[in-house]
Structure 1
Amino acid sequence: MGRRRNNGRFAMPLDRSVVLKAALEQLDEVGLDEFSTRKLAAALGVRVGALYWHYPSKQALLDAVAEHIAADAAAAPLPDGDWAERLAAIARAHRDAMLARRDGARVIACMSAPGPMAHAFFERLVGVLREAGLDAEGAASAGDVLTSYVNGFTVEEQARGLRRQSEAHRERLFGFGVSVVIAGLRPLVEG
């Protein structure tokens, strides 16, 4: 696609990365409920159809946003500790990546087509559990349980007003929940 006009001047060519960056900015500004491809197109100085050249639907664009969030979680370094410490670090990285974006947890929860980074994040989690001794099915199930807890907690944190509580209190609540999940997995891993 060529250059788009922006206030009478030519601007940077529209491509997937430009659309994704603008979508992330709009999400942070207005949240998921007010997120709109029409508003996004207007902000970019193009018609809505130009967005669909790069992302075939609003859901595909939101999946790309989710993939961006998952990439941040997958890139977080892991400590050298035991499986439980590494699992807790993955849970914190997952939560932090979602909290970095307004309604990030809802975007992740509504993802329809996980991409390579979402798969990489989950495979990293499953890998820690496999190294700890769980078989493939057990590790995948345990990974689902942990990510479900993290997603659910973070949805509540972002959407239900937990943000009004102190950060230290939210951290304690989150850490307690992760420790409960890990305690539940311990007999399976170490048994």
Structure 2
Amino acid sequence: MAGFRLQKFAKLHPDLNGFSSPKQTRPASTETDKDEPQNFHNPAPISFQPTSFHPQIKWFQRGELVTVYIKLINPVMQKCDFCSDTVIYSGYVNDRHYYAKLELSGAITAEQCSWEMRCNEPVMKLKKKEKRDWRTLLKHKSPFVSYEFDFIDETRVSSLNGHWFLAEVGEEGCYVSSESASDSD
């Protein structure tokens, strides 16, 4: 196995996503490499622990306000920065760092945005620049962000393509078609 060489790993460096990964380097070939014993059974331990975690996020909107819940219990050392199209949250829970950079699907008025602790969780209030409904919170889909359906205002439900289902429950608990001319089905 004259041509086989082991890769040596340098210290861990964070990548663009905030996770640590080893930088791999190949040593220069020398004649002394052939004489050094290679230990294949006990390689050096490599840790792939992320440097930060992304918190779960729930959101809803009413009028010109977007409410964002950061699903962390009793975070400490929190920081929240508001920009016209981005919100950055950072905090710690049990010595774990949580970080979320939210690239918003719409523009906000950063000076009128705020955050507070409510029921031991951080809650952000974002003021929209334009009073229109956002289809999504973020420009790009994230598995950590979901809509909070408990706050849907049924009087303001609108359809996106003109088609939607409205049903009324009759006296006996049966659905009655709103297109039917008679009450019996």
Higher fraction of strand: 2
Global fold match (TM > 0.5):
no
What's the TM-score bracket when you normalise by the shorter of the two chains?
under 0.3
Question: TM-score when scaled to structure 2?
Answer: 0.26
Q: Which has the higher contact order (CA 8 A, sep 6+)?
A: 1
Question: TM-score when scaled to structure 1?
Answer: 0.25
Higher fraction of helix: 1
